[in-house]
């Protein structure tokens, strides 16, 4: 087995009638691993705070630093994978992620832990930029929503096990096992991907990487999250926070201008002009903000320690998995992705609204987190299908990278806004309610994006690429 080129699948796998779904299941291992890591780490925050004597505003950078690198690299890695081969980049990403996970477990200080997480994020970018693209390339277009729903279920399973496994690991073996658990899963995923994933058939040409666009994107997201951390207790003066917010706004503006004028843009405006893509990406940002906000909130406010918080939080991804797998059997077949997106976002918003009066009452929280998961499990696969249905096959890595980039931004904002709310309003019912209200606003925005979205076809943007621009 080599990781320096794309090897063909064995003939028995390639010609099997379940070959598309075997490939999707292989991608689900990566989806499971990524979400297991994302949800399990938040349960380790209190233990890491105690071991290194650091405030929450500092410890949250174990996640935020990871997400910043992830967001900064996803679009660029997606473009490179469209040219070099999505299977190749995906499997190499697993190697980087697995080795870095082992290093995180041996980290002697908070600073070294954050550095190892940055390396881990580079591997995660190689995985996530290609996961949606590999599903899109493996299954027929008419089964795309089912394929993406199965991938979403893999994510949900990782999220479901993350809080429970994280709480139990932290309470028994210690927080370092939160990272070491990735090593056996990663090794299994590398073997499965080698034998089950198809080689890249349609490729694009990457003539030049948009380095200015990459720098502007990294500056915009980093400055925004550092400003939010500064306002959440990191110890920055007010003038520095305002300066960082101004820098973030300037970088976002510069990125927009740059991408409209660049010959080989990092985030291609031609894709954003396709029906449903821009609104779908905004909906993905809001959806993942709502999904990850509770994962950062509940361990800070629920009584009973990490193990108890993990068990309570399991209701959220379990509801997500049930909806992602069962939506096509329950909802009317005549409902398109737009109707499904609106319905899912509305259920999520209702759950958040009901959560506001009692955000720390264990019984109601379990029920409402399950309901929230069901709403997001309907919304997210439908929303992602709208986006990927409008992207040509040879640009699926670019499209998948954009989906996961906005997902990373939404995840980072969910963690940062919860930390901000708890710092401003206190780690009690008042702070929890403030955090839930922020998530409810994002849920309302997700409904608006789903209502506005219109499904597109790959031909909508293919004409823009009659001359090779990548």
**pLDDT digits over 279-322, tens only?**
888 888 888 888 878 877 887 777 766 667 777 877 887 888 78
Could you list the residue range(s) of the whole structural domain that residue 430 is in?
11-210+262-465
Q: Which of 261, 293, 328 is the last residue of a domain?
A: 261
Position 388 pLDDT exceeds 90: no
If pLDDT is split at 50, 70 and 90, which confidence band does 3 have?
low
Asked if 251 contacts 213 with a C-beta cutoff of 8 angstroms, the reply is: no
pLDDT at res. 465: 43
The reply to whether 92 falls in a domain is yes
Residue 71's Cβ-side half-sphere holds a number of Cα atoms within 13 Å equal to: 25
Is residue 4 one of the residues assigned to a domain? no
Contact 36, 162 (CB under 8 A): yes
pLDDT at res. 115: 92
Same domain? 197 vs 107: yes
Confidence of residue 460 (pLDDT cuts 50, 70, 90): very low
Residue after which a domain boundary falls, among 228, 244, 261: 261
Asked whether residue 440 falls in the same domain as residue 351, the answer is: yes
| Pair 275, 318 in one domain | yes
Q: Looking at the structure, do residues 139 and 160 belong to the same domain, yes or no?
A: yes
CATH number for position 306? 1.20.1250.20
pLDDT at 1: 53
> According to the model, what pLDDT value does residue 464 have?
43
463: left (phi over 0), alpha (psi -120 to 50) or beta: alpha
CA distances from 12 to 16, 86, 139, 183, 212 (A): 6, 22, 18, 29, 46
Distance CA 214, CA 112 (A): 25
Residues 119, 66 contacting (CB under 8 angstroms): no
Same domain, 107 and 136: yes
Q: Is the pLDDT of residue 470 over 60?
A: no
Residues 286 and 235 in one domain: no
> What does the pLDDT look like over 59-85, one tens digit per residue?
878 877 887 787 778 777 877 777 777
The domain tally of the chain equals 2
CA distances from 305 to 32, 54, 293 (A): 25, 18, 18
Residue 205's pLDDT band (boundaries 50, 70, 90)?
low
Residues 232 and 286 in one domain: no
Domain stop point among 221, 242, 261: 261
């Amino acid at each position: 087995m080599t990781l320096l080129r794309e090897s063909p699948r064995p003939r028995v796998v390639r010609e099997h009638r379940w070959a598309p779904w075997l490939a999707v299941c292989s991608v689900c291992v990566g989806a499971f691993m990524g979400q297991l890591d994302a949800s399990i780490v938040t349960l380790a925050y209190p233990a890491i705070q105690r071991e290194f004597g650091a405030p929450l505003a500092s410890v949250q950078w174990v996640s935020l630093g990871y997400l910043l690198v992830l967001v900064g690299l996803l679009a660029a890695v997606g473009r490179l994978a469209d040219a070099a081969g999505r299977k190749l980049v995906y499997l190499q990403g697993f190697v980087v992620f697995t080795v870095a996970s082992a290093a995180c477990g041996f980290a002697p200080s908070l600073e070294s832990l954050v550095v190892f997480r940055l390396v881990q994020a580079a591997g995660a970018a190689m995985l996530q930029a290609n996961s949606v693209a590999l599903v899109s390339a493996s299954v027929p277009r008419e089964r795309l929503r089912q394929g993406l729903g199965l991938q979403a279920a893999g994510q949900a399973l990782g999220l479901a096990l993350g809080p429970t496994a994280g709480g139990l690991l932290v309470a028994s073996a210690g927080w370092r096992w939160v990272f070491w658990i990735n090593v056996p899963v990663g090794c299994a995923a590398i073997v499965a991907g080698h034998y089950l994933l198809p080689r890249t058939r349609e490729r694009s040409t990457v003539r030049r990487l948009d380095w200015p666009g990459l720098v502007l994107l990294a500056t915009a997201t980093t400055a925004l999250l550092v400003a939010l951390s500064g306002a959440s207790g990191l110890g920055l003066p007010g003038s520095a926070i305002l300066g960082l917010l101004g820098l973030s706004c300037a970088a976002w503006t510069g990125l927009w201008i740059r991408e409209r004028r660049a010959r080989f843009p990092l985030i291609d405006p031609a894709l954003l002009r396709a029906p449903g893509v821009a609104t779908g990406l905004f909906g993905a940002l809001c959806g993942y903000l709502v999904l990850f906000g509770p994962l950062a909130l509940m361990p800070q406010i629920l009584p009973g320690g990490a193990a108890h918080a993990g068990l309570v939080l399991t209701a959220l991804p379990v509801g997500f998995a049930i909806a992602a797998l069962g939506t096509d059997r329950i909802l009317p077949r005549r409902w398109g992705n737009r109707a499904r997106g609106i319905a899912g976002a509305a259920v999520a918003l209702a759950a958040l609204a009901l959560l506001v009066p009692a955000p720390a009452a264990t019984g109601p929280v379990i029920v409402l987190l399950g309901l929230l998961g069901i709403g997001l499990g309907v919304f997210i696969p439908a929303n992602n299908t709208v986006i990927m249905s409008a992207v040509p096959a040879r640009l699926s890595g670019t499209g998948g990278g954009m989906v996961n980039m906005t997902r990373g931004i939404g995840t980072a904002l969910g963690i940062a806004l919860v930390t901000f709310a708890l710092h401003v309003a206190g780690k009690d019912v008042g702070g929890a309610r403030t955090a839930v209200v922020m998530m409810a606003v994002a849920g309302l925005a997700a409904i608006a994006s789903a209502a506005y979205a219109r499904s597109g076809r790959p031909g909508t943007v293919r004409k823009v690429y009659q001359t090779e621009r990548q």
